[in-house]
Chains A and B, each alone.
Chain A
Amino acid sequence: MSTKRILVIDDEKGFTAMLKLNLESTGKYEVLVENDACNAVATALSFMPHLILLDIIMPNMEGPDVAIALQENPLLEDIPVVFLTATIRSSEVGDQGGRIGGHFFVAKPSSLPILVHSIEENLVMLN
């Protein structure tokens, strides 16, 4: 099985560095980090990821707006987006992460197995 490309769009440098290390150590993924939401579309076009992990609250551009910009590009519209959110309540997604209004969410922090599970679930749906 070939590795899948994951693009992480999140302004927290420390967090994204750790996330990249963890995801790549599973051997399943190649991870690229983009810390500036304004570059999201350009980076996505050059990297062409299989899946995007997108932070919701960022300084220059909010996650949902980034998601819309990605959607509007015909080359990127089919790439699944999983939101990372730090302000989620346990009652909203349980401990597992889940769907709110058609989008996938994973709590930040959630354990690595849960994160990987969400990624895999979204990659499967792609096929």
Chain B
Amino acid sequence: MEAKLTDPLRTLIVEDNQVDQTMLAAMVTEASRGLSFVQTADTLQGALNLLHSYEFDVIILDLNLPDSQGYETIRDINKAAPKLAIVVNTGSYEEDIGIQTLRIGAQDFLIKGKYNGYTLNKTLHYAVERKRMELELILLYQEVKESQNQIVQMEKMKMVGTLASGVAHEVRNPLATVLYGVNYLYNRLESDDKSIKNVMDTIRESAEKANNIITDLLDFSHIDQLNKTEVNLNEIVEKSLSLIHHNIQEKNILIVKELDKQLPTVIADTNRIVQVLVNLLMNAIHAMPNKGSKIIIRSVNKSSNNATIIEIDDEGQGIDEEHINKIFDPFFTTRRANGGVGLGLFVCQNIMKLHDGTVFLKNRPEGGARATLTFKTSQ
């Protein structure tokens, strides 16, 4: 719809001088032939209360109020209502201040005594349009920034890929030598000396473990080649659960599914998201040594944020406070002795970044941890 100067604007007038306040209200009402929704306040607090109760298009703001002075007034209003156009009402001796306010979030300014009904109305409409364009620009900027981040991420992954192939070649050759060497000795062993066999088994296991790390690294380094389609995350949840069915049964874990049946689709690489969910679920399972514990897996449509969310709640020991900033680091693990490599969450995070999504982990007040995946809902 095209904007017109006669369109009524929902206007909030914040002015502690009663004469000015009444005059402004009268002018705004007249310019819209009485159609504008106009509210007035004498203080910042009064203004904030009104902003809380009603929606406005524009605010006419006196900077020097009994409870707030100067630029802070603009900042507070902007914080409370980020989409609201702000027109500052300044004293005639403050023309320079008017210009300054444009830099910190106001769209235009009035100089007391230097406007009439017509220019006031024009100023208000101008401010609303300008705010609308500013918001659009910010949105565009964010989009550009996001795709730029994704490109940077892709480049990084390419580098990791090259590096991983190099490391794999250099490390696997000596590993293969060790493994084949041990294998040969093992077969040639004439005595039944248990201790020699033990030593050889240990050497072999260590070499195999090192080899598995290389395999993980190589698998990880190729995660940038995504095969994205429109998918239903509930189906991916089911698929992931079926893959670790065995681990769940073994520990007698109760899986509670709270899946939103009206979940919108997202654009994602099914196999990669399965990888993420399996990693998170395995972490939850590892964190719960007691048999018969419960995992809740939940899907939520946060339509207000255009987001789709998956949560995994466990009843494990939770994350140590001192580790909370490290768990996403590559090779950070508290399960080194039990075969943990420490790449699980790192991989999850990178996959989610490539999907323009996020993964968080935090402790739940009731105990245990919650992993949260956030996806952008496809439009």
Question: What is the number of residues of chain A that contact chain B, defined by CB distance less than 8 Å?
Answer: 20
Given contacts A86-B168, A91-B219, contact A12 B173 (CB under 8 A): yes
Residues of A within 8 A of B175 (CB): 109
Evaluate whether A21 and B184 lie within 8 angstroms (CB atoms) in the complex, with A87-B165, A90-B215, A91-B219 already known: yes
Interface residues of chain A, those whose CB is within 8 Å of chain B, are 12, 14-15, 17-19, 21-22, 25, 57, 86-91, 108-109, 111-112
Judge whether B169 and A19 touch: CB under 8 Å.
no
CB closest residue in chain B, given A26: B187
With A18-B181, A22-B184, A109-B176 given, can you name 9 additional A-B contacts, CB distance below 8 Å? A14-B177, A15-B176, A17-B177, A86-B176, A87-B218, A108-B173, A109-B180, A109-B211, A112-B180
Question: How near does chain B come to A70, taking the closest CB pair, in angstroms?
Answer: 22
Residues of chain A within 8 A of B188, CB atoms compared: 25
What is B's interface to A at a CB cutoff of 8 Å?
A: 165, 168-169, 172-177, 179-181, 183-184, 187-188, 207, 211, 215, 218-219, 222
Contact between chains at A15 and B177 (CB < 8 Å) = yes
Instruction: Give complex CA distance A106, B176 in Å.
Output: 12
A19 touches B180 (CB 8 A): yes
Say yes or no: A109-B179 contact (C-beta < 8 A), given A57-B169, A87-B169: yes
Contact assessment for B215 and A22 in the assembled complex, using a CB-CB cutoff below 8 Å: no
The smallest C-beta distance from A55 to any residue of chain B, in angstroms, reads 9
Majority secondary structure of chain B interface residues (helix, strand, loop or mixed): helix
Q: Which residues of B contact A19 (CB under 8 A)?
A: 176, 180
Give CA–CA (A115, B297) in the complex, Å: 43
B176 x A87 contact (CB < 8 A): no
The answer to whether A108 and B176 have CB atoms under 8 Å apart is yes
User: B174, B184, B187, B188: which has the most chain A beta carbons within 10 Å?
Assistant: B184
Looking across the interface, which residue of chain B has its beta carbon closest to that of A18?
B180
Cα A87 to Cα B219 in complex, Å, equals 10
Q: Which B residues are in CB contact (< 8 Å) with A91?
A: 219
Within the complex, what minimum Cβ distance (angstroms) separates A86 from chain B? 4
With a CB–CB cut-off of 8 A, which chain A residues contact B176? 12, 15, 18-19, 86, 108-109
A29 to chain B, nearest CB (A): 14
Separation of A94 and B177 alpha carbons in the complex (Å): 21
Contact A89 B218 (CB under 8 A): yes
Within the complex, which residue of B173, B184, B219 is in contact with A86, where a contact is CB–CB below 8 Å? B173
B372 → A minimal CB distance (Å): 28
Complex Cα distance, B169 from A21, in Å, reads 22
User: Closest approach, in angstroms, between the C-beta of A100 and any C-beta of chain B?
Assistant: 14
Determine the chain A residues whose CB is within 8 A of the CB of B173 once the complex forms.
Answer: 12, 14-15, 86, 108
